[in-house]
Amino acid sequence: MLVLQLLKWCLEVAEVLIAVPTVYLCILVTMVILQTNKPKIECEDQVPTPESACINFGILIPAHNEEVLLGPLLKSLSTMTYPKDLYSVYVIADNCTDSTAQVARTAGGVQVYERFDQAKRSKGHALAWAFQQLKENQSIHDAYVIFDADSIIDSKFLQAMADELKQGKEALQGYYGVLNATESPSTILRWIALTLMNHMRPFGRSLLGFSTRLTGNGMCLSHDLLEHLPWCTYGHSEDYEYYLVLLQHGTKVHYVRKAIVHSHMPPTFADMRTQDIRWESGLSLKIEQTLSLLRAGFRLRAFDCFEEIIVLLTPPLSFIVGWCILLLAGSLLLWSPPDIVASLILMSGLVYYVGSAFLLLRPDPAIYKALLLFAPKFVLWKLWVLLVLKWRKKHNSEWIRTSRPTSLTRV
């Protein structure tokens, strides 16, 4: 009897622990749904006047062996509606063993910086080096935008960023979506997942008045900000690490949903391995990060720091799904009706959360079939990545290129 009571108590504790992030995620997507359903104000989508386009941008593209995928990005940048004399493109060919630098030079209108440093092989090191080179060469811009080399940029990206910078904002993050969304089951699942991670969550956080994360692709930082807080992060997730630096110095990152960048995702689970390990290890919960956010929150009286702690404590969706299934199974085995109801409510919350992405994307009916067939495999894959990372003995920040196909096409 005592054992059963103890097991039920464990179930209830687990339900509370899972309920906190689930409720948090549901609040975020509810804010987005309510905002999306509001009548559109006509002036919101008006074309900006020429006078509003006065911000001078430096576009940085760190590239490690991207000779195949770099061309389409440079082509998309050349078709921007923003005035050509107000932005410059810089490709940082970092420790490349292919013809990435040559591809950039032949594109025209691109300045190429080649870096060779086998001891410092990370995107963070490449960015810090590039900022220093630009400073030494007096290539000063009002703001700097960073794109991954496998991306395609919306023609109005810079204008959307300029509108926000003119309002005095210093750190911005655009909408980072999936280019090859329907190419394969894995890209479909990535499409849904990144819509939740890179649009629904940051949009919901911004509607609540909180800061949003930097995702590394499509982020914009003002010159003044970089002078005050130079780039200084070099780990697996250098963008998130720098975001924490900003938070702890009282700087908020603003989400700009009209600044859109799409990137190519690996088409198979095997190809996703490198990317998943890098993402999950870079965002793993660290006690020192939580403590530093707590200290900064009390020192600055900044709710953004406390809210980010909730984000840090929110497990990956696959982890929450797995625990909900275990909770329901445990409740049924113990035949505890209150716990069964609680587990079903939690699972309903997850369905609502994921369903919000479908409400926004309105995918083709064939997409649902792919999700039903491959979503369980995707969840197991993500859990495997988390478990492998947990027991990995060694992590380093070396820049390992994610395997991708040899072309970039929107499917």
Q: Tens of pLDDT along 246-267?
A: 999 999 999 999 999 999 887 7
Domain presence at residue 55: no
For residue 40, is pLDDT > 80? no
Model confidence band, residue 27 (pLDDT cutoffs 50, 70, 90)? very high
Residues making up the chain, counted from first to last: 411
DSSP lists the bridge partners of residue 261 as: 153, 176
Domain presence at residue 230: no
Q: Are 219 and 172 in contact (CB under 8 A)?
A: yes
For residue 1, is pLDDT > 70? no
Domain presence at residue 200: no
pLDDT at 401: 59
For residue 101, is pLDDT > 70? yes
Mean pLDDT of the chain: 86
Domain presence at residue 380: yes
Domain presence at residue 366: yes
pTM for the whole thing?
0.87
DSSP lists the bridge partners of residue 143 as: 57, 222
For residue 409, is pLDDT > 70? no
Number of domains in the chain: 1
Domain presence at residue 87: no
Domain presence at residue 333: yes
Side-by-side strand order, sheet with 57-63: 110-115, 87-94, 57-63, 143-146, 219-222, 171-178, 253-263, 151-153
What is the residue whose two structure tokens read 């000063």? 140
Residue 18 sits in which domain range? 7-31+317-391
Six-digit token pair at 46? 């008006």
- What are the tens digits of pLDDT across the range 280-323? 554 454 677 888 899 999 998 889 999 999 988 888 888 898 88
* pLDDT (average), residues 125-132: 96
- What are the tens digits of pLDDT across the range 350-367? 999 999 988 888 877 777
Domain presence at residue 303: no
